[in-house]
Amino acid sequence: MNTHEIDYQIFGEEMQYVEIELDPQETVIAEPGSFMMMDPDIEMATIFGDGAAPQQSFWGKMMSAGKRVLTGENLFMTAYTHKGHGKQTVSFASPYPGKIIALDLSELGGKVVCQKDAFLCAAQGTSVGIEFSRKLGRGFFGGEGFIMQKIEGDGMAFMHAGGFVMERTLEVGEKLRVDTGCLVAYQGVVDYDIEMVKGIRNKMFGGEGFFYANLIGPGKVWIQTLPFSRLANRVVQNSRHLFSGGGKGEGSVLGSLGNLLDGDGF
């Protein structure tokens, strides 16, 4: 294997964290801001790109870092290396309520394509790059634009997604339609395209947008129940009502009197 072999354990329910166990000189890479805690013999270092090729030239590292910027990620990543003896652990936390997904890339054909903010951490040697969409429809209407993240390697990597995450294995030729925002990731061999919703009324009043993500097997796909965009929209909507003196029942004909009866006050 080219990637460091690591052990792990995932804790929690709605707000999970993953604990990575490292042997001496083993390293795990992670997104800046995901760090939670670590044992004293683990050292942290900020690196360009993903550190998948330590002997890479400076310009090669700059290119790797630049690709990450295109996906909306940070220019740098953080590497955590065990410099002592025995076994030590480092933990990384979810950025918002949801699930952490463990990916054994050696069992997934070495490549998983995911939404731009899904990657959390991985064993040293994993490449975190960009996947360009070659299809105009997918690029314009797929919810992720022309650029998605790709995770490549032969070791363990970890993604995060909102709400509950369902993993489904598609057989050869099997099709699945998914809301474009609910698609978290798919195995590199899965065919991914966009399909237009049929019917004018469905488009205009269905509330589900104009397009589906159309997935064709074989391969595994991961689907989330709560895309971060939906969570953010609900928070923004309710914050407006809160600051305007309303609550969840702001549409009540009782208005402020209804809020008083509910215990919210005027």
The pLDDT value recorded for residue 135 is 53
The region, left, alpha or beta by phi > 0 then psi within -120 to 50, assigned to residue 188 is: alpha
Range of weakest confidence among 107-121, 152-166, 211-225, 227-241: 227-241
List the strands of the sheet with 42-48, edge to edge: 42-48, 76-82, 27-30, 119-123, 156-162, 98-104
What token pair was written down for 102?
Answer: 């463990």
In the chain, where the domains are located: 7-163, 237-261
Phi, psi of 192 (to 5 degrees): -120, 125
For residue range 14-65, what is the model confidence (pLDDT) as tens digits? 899 999 999 999 999 998 889 999 999 999 998 876 666 555 555 555 666 5
What CA–CA distance (Å, rounded) separates 53 from 68? 15
pLDDT at 179: 86
Measured CA to CA in angstroms, residue 182 lies from 118, 162, 164 at distances of 12, 9, 11
Percent of the chain scoring above 70 in pLDDT: 64
Most confident of 131-135, 235-239, 240-244: 235-239
pLDDT of 167 reads 95
pTM of this structure:
0.76
How far is it, in rounded angstroms, from Cα 156 to Cα 8? 9
Amino acid identity of 68? R
More confident residue, 28 or 232: 28
What are φ and ψ of residue 14, in 5° steps? -75, -40
- Tell me which CATH code domain 7-163 carries: 3.60.160.10
DSSP 38-61: E-TTEEEEEEETT-S-TT--HHHH
> Percent of the chain at pLDDT above 90?
45
pLDDT above 50: residue 144: no
- Rounded-to-integer distance, Cα 29 and Cα 79, Å: 4
pLDDT given at position 115 = 87
Q: Whose structure tokens read 């997604």?
A: 161
Residue 142 has pLDDT above 50, yes or no: no
User: What is the chain's mean pLDDT, rounded?
Assistant: 78
pLDDT greater than 80 at residue 87: yes
